[in-house]
Structure 1
Amino acid sequence: MDKEYLIQLTRNLYYLTLLFPKKEPLRYKIRELADEILAEIVSEPNSKEEILKKLEILDSFFEIVKTQNWVSQEDILLLQAEYSKVKENLTSFSNEPKVNDFLNERQKKILEVLREKEKVQVWEIKKIFPEVSKRTLRRDFEKFVRQDLIERLGEGNSTFYKMK
């Protein structure tokens, strides 16, 4: 999922909910839920199950809104279809490695090196990226560990990382 796409989708939802009655609780609940979904997908998504639950709740809210005649059916159906695409995108990647779509070029290159070699140390990656500090590289590795893409072996100077 592209970050800009998700931001635009959330923006569209905001525009649509402007047409809801001002004091309507669904107006704010739908917005809050869309904000949470955006935040969890754009930041490191630790739990796809949690995001999928929120997407399911959002879909239920859309069903309620359809019956209220606050906005046109087509507008609701359009948003509902777009959020369904987000849901499909999340579920289709569940069997593949959990690589975040929002990796920078350095992180993509690190994963590429890890796929080629059995295991690597931070200093080996530092040779590839001399302008990047070891601390930044370690943070990249820790991000991958949290995303369950790689595993950490050893401690201190004998720390290695390898693909799961």
Structure 2
Amino acid sequence: MEEKFLNPVRKLELSNQDSVFKNNEKETQSKNRLSNGVKLTNTVYSLLAFFPESDPIKNKAKDKALSIMEGLTLFARSQISKEKQDIQSQILEDIAVLLNYFKVAKSQGWISNTNYLIVSNEYEKIEKDIALSASFQQKQKIAPEGIQTPIESRPPKVSRRQNKILKFLEGNETAQVMDLQKVLPNITKRTIRRDLDELLESGRIVRMGEFNQVFYKINR
């Protein structure tokens, strides 16, 4: 069966970049994100038609695509900061796994490199959108006239992936990104590096070396 080219999902453009941080734009941004999530899920389903029916990846990829769409719905409706962070973490994890499924499909020749890049780029846009929304909510925590609301002194809670990273470092002293992929096999290097950056910012770990010889360890 000859694979037909699928047009990319186009993201609605904001008329003003600064309006992202305005209250009256937040609802519109959420609707756009959900609309794009539905369109992208339909695109994923179209591509999955080229997967062999007997291969388990096909159904697993469907489940992940639906999980991402459901997560976007919950993310848009949630008004609780902690809940939003958990949903965001789950969406990012699901996207990483789904894109790994599509990497396998591309290597097997089930989909073209072009269509893989289309799907990958559109999910990256969703990642950026929810990160921007989370950043907006953090800004809302700042009280008027530059007076910040009290912040607890305890360190921010880490995600499940970050907990796995910390446990691995506690048992192995130091590690590189490729070492951490052994305990996070379905997570991309980019996502692992983002988790490491957050752990660095919170002071839980330290980085040593440079270029290809970068190691991480627990900050004692």
Work out whether the TM-score is over 0.5: yes
Give the 3-state SS of the residue equivalent to 2:39 in structure 1. Answer: helix
Question: What do the CA deviations read for 1:90-134 (whole angstroms, capped 9, x no partner)?
Answer: 122222217xxxxxxxxxxxxxxxx9xxxxxxxxxxxxxxxxxxx
Unaligned 5+ runs, structure 1: 99-114, 116-164
Distance 1:92 1:64 in 2: 30
In the other structure, the counterpart of 2:67 is 36
Alpha-carbon offset, residue 81 of structure 1: 0.9
- Aligned partner (choices 57, 78, 87) of residue 97 of structure 2: 57
Distance 1:10 1:58 in 2: 11
What does 1:9-158 align with in structure 2 at a 5 Å threshold? 9-43=40-74, 44=77, 46=83, 47=86, 48-97=88-137
Relative contact order, CA 8 A, sep 6+: which one is greater? 1
Structure with max Cα Rg:
1
The answer to whether residue 39 in structure 2 is matched with residue 8 in structure 1 is yes
Distance 1:88 1:56 in 2: 14
Give the 3-state SS of the residue equivalent to 1:69 in structure 2. Answer: coil
TM-score by length of 1: 0.55
Unaligned 5+ runs, structure 2: 1-29, 139-143, 145-220
What letter is aligned with 2:47? L
8 A Cα contact 2:40 2:122, kept in partner: yes
Alpha-carbon offset, residue 69 of structure 1: 0.3
What letter is aligned with 1:41? L
In the other structure, the counterpart of 1:138 is none
Distance 1:16 1:97 in 2: 35
Alpha-carbon offset, residue 72 of structure 1: 1.4
Cα-Cα RMSD: 2.2
Identical columns (%): 22
What letter is aligned with 1:23? S
Give the 3-state SS of the residue equivalent to 1:21 in structure 2. Answer: coil
TM-score by length of 2: 0.42
